[in-house]
Structures are given as structure tokens and as C-alpha cells.
Chains A and B, each alone.
Chain A
Amino acid sequence: MKTLDRHGRFLVRLTLNGIPEEGFAEPRMLLADFLRHEIGATGTHVGCEHGICGACTIRVDGKATRACLVLAVQVDGAAIETVEGLSEPDGSFGPLQQAFHENFALQCGFCTPGFMMSLSEFLEINPDPTANEIKVALSGNICRCTGYHEIVNASLDAAKALRRRASQTS
């Protein structure tokens, strides 16, 4: 039985976008705070801290997850993916980022990492979604700037670009 004292700080090891990282966390430390403050990966944004806004959405072992509703100590050993992993190896925009850029799908950008990480799993499960399916999939992410239309358009474009890439590599 693993027992962690409330006042202790415990080693948490994980991979972040494929790169091994480690840091220390109190039992109560949220994964979102661990990524931002321990690892220094500030691409993941923290909004409501109770699972409503979706801004902190990341992927844990491939599954889109609210990083504010998971403790860092719970994901010891997990593979974490965040918005930082969406760009190309040379630092240029990946297909999701490019589609958001071209469709004006962000203004202030606070919610954007959450939208993109939700989409990154959703478009793997459903590579050719309808606009309506995208709206349902993104209903757990809140944006107060765009009015969502541009985000849905960007999602459709990103899906197209990802399909094209998949057909080229296969």
C-alpha cells in the first residue's frame, strides 16, 4: 500500500510529449499545477478549477482529461500530452494549430489549448466528423471570445488536413 503524508512532497515521473520529466508534488497538488509550476510547461491553462470550462484539458495515456480534476500523484508513470506537443518538430504549426490560425478560431487564446487537446483525441476517434458531431465533442470547452463558429470551421479544416497527412504516410 502506497501512503503519502499530506505534508510530504513526492517524486512524480511522467513523460511529457514523449520526453521524460519529473518533479515533486504534495498529495493535493493538481496535475495542471504540477505541469505549470513543477515542470514549467505553461501551455496548459487553468480556468475554473472545477471541470466546467475545459481550458486545462490535456491527454493522459491518450485520453483527453481535465488536468484540474486529476492529482499529480495519480498519474505517476503516465504519458502526458499537452498543447506544446502539437507543433511540428521544427517548431512550426501542426495541422490543428494551423487550422485555428487560418480560421481566426481564437482571440485571447486562453481556452485554445483545451479546445485543441480535446480535438486531438476526438479527431483520432472520428477522423471525418460532421459539424454537429464537433459541436457535441466541444460542448465541454468554453470560449468567451469567438462565438464558436470559427472553432467548428477550424476543426473541420484540421480534420481534413489530418486525413490528408494520414493518407500520405500510409
Chain B
Amino acid sequence: MKPAPFDYVQPDSVDEAVEVLAQYGDDARVIAGGQSLMPMLNMRLVRPHVLVDISRLPALSSTVDEDGVLAVGAAVTQGTLAAWPNLGMTLPLLAQALPYVGHFQTRNRGTVCGSLCHADPSSELPLCLALLGGEMDLHSSRGVRTIAAENFQRGVLTTAKAPDELAVRVRFPKAPAGDSFAFREFCHRHGDFAVVAIAARRSGTAISLAVGGVADRPEVCHWNSLPDDSVEDALNDLAWVLGGNDDIHATARHRRQLVRHLGCQVIDATRPDDGTE
């Protein structure tokens, strides 16, 4: 199908963009890469009055290596971030997860912030943000606010961003030396939405696990220590807490089993190399 008619606005600054959003609120949609929004427009699941294109705003097109943080502007594509020098050292989780975000053809255009704002419960970048605990900068004509990752995604395709707010950048905290990360997902075809996606972080004896695709947003679970013989029970408990739903792609039972299975794999993969091999 083709999109329903809309007015198209290409603002020259963030101030102009938020001005339009303030005027139209719910009737405006922001488009950056459009790799989630365009399908919804084509299928007429959304019919905005005005489309605000921020993809060519220079102010949003940069990635900045700040002290301890990588700040990614709202027009930066997933492909650009994946090619960021030393990403494997500074943000190893993103380096592992980005190749699973769609296909290289959609990563060429799809943006990091766009994926976070779309907030699909099974998508990879919201999962990474949840585990890394970054923050988002939101601008509106009412002012500027920064919101912590844990408070950003509220549920299925729902975030704390108000309709008149523009997500300007996301800040990912860089990995402290010694922390290790792992990412795994199960999907029916490479690049499809994951049935279940899991990321783990090991920091000394502490382990954190983020699970996507089961609850209605990525959920994070933290253990101060998790001895090897209690991993299985801990993952089983987590699977039952998250519950999951039956849908066309998988049953809730299958999803819980994937939490146990992939959970074991990621926890294993973060194990420090003890030099015995």
C-alpha cells in the first residue's frame, strides 16, 4: 500500500523541529531513517498530518566520544555506529548486537535513536540500552530533559517521550575495563524480529541479564553473585517471572525455554578467560 497524504517538513535546526512538534503534537511524526515508520505509513497504521524529517539535520548527525560516554545523535544510522572505530573495545555489547539489527540494507538508513523510540519489545538496541543503563536527551519547546534508560521504554511501542518531544541523542556509558558482555538471539530468519534476545554483563562476581521479546519491554535482572550451580535455577525463576505470551511466532512456553537456553549461553560467554585453555 501507499501512505495516506501528509505534509512534509524539513527543519533546519532542532529548534525549528520542536516548534513544529509543539504545534501539531500527536498529529506529527518524526522521521529519521524511516525503517520502522515507513512500513507503518505504507500500511496506513499511522496517518500523521505532518512528517518532520530530521535525517539531514547536521546537529543530529554526529557521534561524540565524551568522557566515559558515547553520545549518538538522532540522525546517526545503525551502520555508522557499527563502523565506529574501536566500538568493540568501548561498547562491546553494541558491537556484538548491531549486526543483528535488521539487515545491512536497513542499517544503512535506520537510526539508533529511531530504533529506541520505536520501542519494539524484541528489538536489539532497546535491549542494549536497558542493560548498559544509558540515557536519552529529549528536547521540546517546553525545555530539555534527560531521561534514564530504565524510565524510557514503558511498554510495547511506548516510551516516556511526549508527542511534542524530539529525541536528540542517546548516551551509552562505555564499558569499564574488566567488564565482559555477550549477546545472543533466536529468530526464524537472520534479520527478522527476534523471538527472544538476551544480553549479559559480567562485572566481577556480579551478573546482569537483559531479556527482550518476552515481557512487553526489555527487562533487566541483576545478581550480585551467581555461582555456577545456581545459574539453572536462577534462569528458570527469571523465565517464569517474565512469563511471555503466545503469538504467531512462538508460544510462551517456547519463549521461557529460550530464556533458559540463551541465558546459559550468554552467561557462559562472559566468563573471563582463565588462561587454562
Residues of A within 8 A of B (CB): 1-7, 26-28, 30, 33, 49-51, 54, 57, 60, 63-66, 68-71, 73-74, 118, 121-122, 135-137, 139-140
A6 to B53: give the CA distance in the assembly, Å. Answer: 14
- Residue of B2, B38, B51, B53 touching A33 (CB-CB under 8 A): B2
Contact across chains for A140 and B51 when beta carbons are under 8 A apart: no
A-facing mask of B21-57, CB < 8 A → 1, else 0?
0000000000000110011011100000001010100
CB-defined contacts of B43 to chain A, threshold 8 Å:
50
Instruction: List, sorted by A's number, 27 A–B pairs whose CB atoms are closer than 8 Å.
Output: A1-B10, A1-B16, A1-B20, A2-B9, A2-B10, A6-B5, A6-B6, A6-B7, A27-B6, A28-B3, A28-B4, A28-B41, A33-B2, A51-B35, A51-B39, A51-B106, A64-B104, A64-B108, A65-B108, A66-B35, A69-B38, A70-B109, A71-B38, A139-B103, A140-B104, A140-B105, A140-B191
> Do residues B10 and A122 form an inter-chain contact, with CB atoms below 8 A?
no
Q: Are B2 and A28 in contact (CB under 8 A)?
A: yes
| B241 interface residue per 8 A CB criterion | no
Q: How far is the CB of B10 from chain A (nearest CB, A)?
A: 4
| B12 in contact (CB, < 8 A) | yes
Alpha-carbon separation in the docked complex, A65 to B33 (Å): 10
How far is the CB of B6 from the nearest CB of chain A, in Å? 6
- Contact A28 to B10, CB < 8 A, known contacts A69-B34, A69-B39, A140-B103: no
Q: How large is the interface on B (under 10, 10 to 19, 20 to 34, 35 or more residues)?
A: 35 or more
B133 at interface (Cβ–Cβ under 8 A)? no
Interface assignment of B11: CB less than 8 Å from any CB of chain A: yes
Q: Which of B228-243 contact A (CB under 8 A)?
A: none
Given the complex of chains A and B, what is the CA–CA distance between A68 and B34 in angstroms?
10
Q: Specify the chain B residue showing the minimal Cβ separation from A118.
A: B105
Instruction: Give complex CA distance A118, B102 in Å.
Output: 14
Task: Please report the C-alpha to C-alpha distance between residue A2 and residue B38 in the assembled complex, in whole angstroms.
Answer: 20
Chain A residues in 8 Å Cβ range of B35: 51, 66, 69
Q: What residues of chain A lie closer than 8 Å to B9, measured between beta carbons?
A: 1-4
Say yes or no: A28 contacts B5, CB within 8 Å: yes
A70 to B38 Cα, complex, angstroms: 7
Interfacial chain B residues near A69, Cβ < 8 Å = 34-35, 38-39, 42, 106, 109
* Residues in chain B near residue A3, CB distance under 8 A: 7-10
Check B190 for interface membership: any CB of A closer than 8 A.
Answer: yes
B4 pairs with A137, CB closer than 8 A: no
User: Top 4 A-B pairs ranked by shortest CB distance?
Assistant: A140-B103, A27-B8, A50-B39, A63-B108
The CA-CA distance from A26 to B12 in the complex, in Å, is 21
Question: Does A57 contact B12, Cβ atoms closer than 8 Å?
Answer: no
Within the assembled complex, what's the spacing in Å between the Cα atoms of A142 and B2?
21
Which among A2, A30, A118 is the interface contact of B42 at CB below 8 angstroms? A30
List 7 extra interface pairs beyond A50-B42, A69-B39, A73-B8, CB under 8 A.
A3-B9, A6-B8, A28-B5, A63-B108, A70-B109, A137-B104, A139-B189
B81-112: CB near A (< 8 Å → 1, else 0) gives 00000000000000000000011111011000
**Chain B residues whose CB sits within 8 angstroms of the CB of A136 once the complex forms:** 190
Is B244 part of the contact surface with A, judged by Cβ < 8 Å? no
Are A74 and B2 in contact (CB-based, < 8 A)?
A: no
Cβ contacts under 8 Å, A73 to chain B: 8
